[in-house]
Structures are given as C-alpha cells and as structure tokens.
Chain A
Amino acid sequence: DSGVTQTPKHLITATGQRVTLRCSPRSGDLSVYWYQQSLDQGLQFLIQYYNGEERAKGNILERFSAQQFPDLHSELNLSSLELGDSALYFCASSPHGGKYEQYFGPGTRLTVT
C-alpha cells in the first residue's frame, strides 16, 4: 500500500461524456502527478501540481484538466470523451517537486464505449 488513494477503481462511460477522477496523496506530500497508460502509448506523464499550483504539463489534451485543492487532493477532469481515452489513469505523489521518489496509487481504469 503506497498511501495514495484513487477513486473510482473502474469507470465505464459513453463517448462525449465527462468524468472526474480523484486522487488523495500520501499524508504530507505536496506534489501530485497524473499519468495515463494506454496499450499503445505506454505510461505518459500528463500534469503535475505542487501545493495547489500547476508545476508541469506533459501530453495532456485540451479536453483534460486538473486541479489540486487546499487539502492537497487532486482531481483530473476528462471531457468530450473519445474511445481512445480508454486507459489506466494513475496518480502519484511526492513530498516536493523533483527531488524525491514518487508513490503511485492503484489507478482508475476508464473504459469509454
């Protein structure tokens, strides 16, 4: 158990819909990262938040957005969903930005039908 929790574990939705994935970091960790893992793209970094502010962006689509709240939990919002958005979405946390290792949650499996 990494101490990072993600909800829901599974999500099945239709194309065009919008979903929200939630992540609670380890106690005391200020950084939250989101990664997407699809069969054809592997593990890809999406976005990082540090203490409520966006720190880095990766290959995140404009239809996707994220935020980190004052209690440090984070949400990843995916809208206008397409079949290709079906993937595992992982959240990770670390105490600070780039200095420490990251601890990953169990992931949310999103299926778009």
Chain B
Amino acid sequence: DAKTTQPPSMDCAEGRAANLPCNHSTISGNEYVYWYRQIHSQGPQYIIHGLKNNETNEMASLIITEDRKSSTLILPHATLRDTAVYYCIVRVASSSNTGKLIFGQGTTLQVKP
C-alpha cells in the first residue's frame, strides 16, 4: 500500500471549512484514498473514500488531484465535535485483498470557538 504524508496538526475556526491535505505521490492505479478519524480514544470512524473522482457524503467532501498524487478532505462547516485525529490511508479495495488498514500518525485537527 502507498505511503501517505499528512501535516501533524491543524487548527480551524468553528463554522469555517476545514481542509485537510494528504500526499500520496506513490499511489498506484488501483489504490483508493480512504479517510478515517478518531475522536479522543474512541474507535476510528470511517468518513469517505474515492478512487479518482471527487466524492461527497453527509460528513465531508474528498477532492483528489488529477494526477492522484494528493487529496484534500473538506469538512464544510467544522464544529467543536470535529476535533479529532484524521487519518488518510491509501490501499487497494478488492474483495480478494485483505482489508487491513495501515494507520500513520494522522493530522490532529483542533476546531476552536
């Protein structure tokens, strides 16, 4: 699985958009970008994933660059409850593959009032 690079920490004002970057310059053509988050000591929570098109769900949007070497997770209106560690994970998504997740250090997002 490709390696990812994320900034260790970011701040965001409550109500503003939080944009969390992730670099994955060695991503392969069949690897997806997944985002999970972990709110203090709780179980990690799936947010969104994508292959090459931009994706949006009720939690967030995922923007993947055309060359797929980087992506940005966008929380459109951050709240205090979005304060968490955000993990960007790149892996093959196939029924024949193991689904193990390799977590890096992630980005600690602090949403401030």
- In whole angstroms, what is the CA distance A7 to B2 when docked? 34
| 1/0 contact string of B83-111 vs chain A (CB within 8 Å) | 00001000111111111111111000000
Task: Say yes or no: is B44 at the interface (Cβ < 8 Å to chain A).
Answer: yes
Summed over the interface, the residue pairs from A and B with CB atoms below 8 Å come to a total of 76
Q: Do residues B96 and A97 form an inter-chain contact, with CB atoms below 8 A?
A: yes
Q: Do residues A43 and B103 form an inter-chain contact, with CB atoms below 8 A?
A: yes
Q: Which B residues touch A96, using CB under 8 A?
A: 95, 99
Interface of B is mostly: loop
- B87 to chain A minimum Cβ distance, whole angstroms, is 8
Interface size class of B (residues with CB under 8 A): 20 to 34
- In whole angstroms, what is the CA distance A4 to B45 when docked? 12
Q: Do residues B99 and A31 form an inter-chain contact, with CB atoms below 8 A?
A: yes
| 1/0 contact string of A79-102 vs chain B (CB within 8 Å) | 000000000101010101111111
Give me the interface of A with B, judged by CB distance under 8 Å. Answer: 2, 4, 31, 33, 35, 42-45, 48, 55-56, 58, 88, 90, 92, 94, 96-107, 109
